[in-house]
Amino acid sequence: MASAPTGRFAPSPTGRLHAGNIFAYLMAWLAARSRQGRVVLRIEDLDAQRSRAEHADAIMRDLEALGLCWDGEPLYQSARADAYRAALEEIERAGGAYECFCTRAEASVQSAPHLGEGGGYTGACRELGAEERARRAEGAARAGRGAAIRCRMPDTAVCFTDIFQGVQRVQVRAGFDDAVLRRSDGLFAYQLAVVVDDAEQGIDQVVRGFDLLASTGKQVRIQQLLGYEQPVYGHIPLFVNSEGRRLSKRDGDASLDSMLRAYGSPAAVIGHIASIAGIIDRDEPATPHELLSIYDESALRQRWEGCVSVECR
């Protein structure tokens, strides 16, 4: 890429940061700064029930304490409904969306379980005739439900070169991958918001966990519907616990507080995380700036290509 990139931190304020989040933001920061790029912050607080302002504040304090500073003002998704509405209308005008009246249980179909993909959509509301649509709409209204809006995905393979995973071919399936753009309760959904905000914030480099690789195909399709440029993606291994379960903010796994107690200083926490991930060989304190001076993306690609998870010790 010719110009300096803009990367991002996109935390959901549902708890304190854990080691896996810190690893993701460290990598986003290193990948952007190693190209003299900017890093912007977005608070993904679309879901008011799960998000808390105090978690957002704590995440920002923690990032600063860790030396993971961002540029400019944070963008709060909770303040962006007008932008999401406008984007949704554009997709609807292009025939790229349809109403879905299914309950959550009716909507979901399981796929072969693989990481980050619990299942997909049955496609039940995708090709409704006018009569059947009216019947379903009435049924949903009687049950006190509105309609969700889904994106009409084509059967296609989205190909891109991932910074850490190399050449990727993500299959998008019509029906099964028809992502919710607006939920039946009226909340705009992650897949729409992330695409609109990545474009709004000028993000052309997205570094995040391996679990979101499957979402990338859907996001690229939504970008195409909205005429946006496709960012460069880099998917990094997930931190898992000793049972192989992904760390979670809500479960308080490997929280920054507990790591600070165990390792003593922010630099010791960063050094520990960098050593788990194989960025440095020895578990010793390191600041993000120190890691920047030894950052070697092609070595990391070799190490992480095809690597889904690493155990957080």
Is 11 near ligand GLU (CB under 6 A)?
Answer: yes
Question: How far apart are alpha carbons 286 and 269 in whole angstroms?
Answer: 8
Is 10 near ligand GLU (CB under 6 A)?
Answer: yes
Question: Residue 26 in contact with residue 291, Cβ under 8 Å?
Answer: yes
Q: Please, which residue, 45 or 99, has the CB nearer to ligand GLU? A: 45
Question: How far apart are alpha carbons 187 and 148 in whole angstroms?
Answer: 9
Is 266 near ligand GLU (CB under 6 A)?
Answer: no
Question: How far apart are alpha carbons 241 and 208 in whole angstroms?
Answer: 18
Q: Please, which residue, 147 or 193, has the CB nearer to ligand GLU? A: 193
Question: How far apart are alpha carbons 45 and 42 in whole angstroms?
Answer: 9
Question: How far apart are alpha carbons 32 and 60 in whole angstroms?
Answer: 18
Is 204 near ligand GLU (CB under 6 A)?
Answer: no
- Minimum Å gap between C-beta 189 and ligand GLU is 12
Q: Please, which residue, 6 or 123, has the CB nearer to ligand GLU? A: 6
Which H/E stretch holds residue 24?
A: helix 19-33
Is 44 near ligand GLU (CB under 6 A)?
Answer: yes
Question: Residue 20 in contact with residue 209, Cβ under 8 Å?
Answer: yes
Helix, strand, coil share of the chain (percent; to 5): 40, 20, 40
Among 6, 7, 12, 213, binds ligand GLU (CB under 6 A): 12
Is 194 near ligand GLU (CB under 6 A)?
Answer: yes
Bridge partners (DSSP) listed for residue 114: 117
Q: Please, which residue, 172 or 194, has the CB nearer to ligand GLU? A: 194
Is 212 near ligand GLU (CB under 6 A)?
Answer: yes
**Looking at 6-14, 33-41, 54-62, 163-171, which segment touches ligand GLU (CB under 6 A)?**
6-14
Residues that bind ligand GLU (CB under 6 A): 10-12, 44, 194, 208, 212
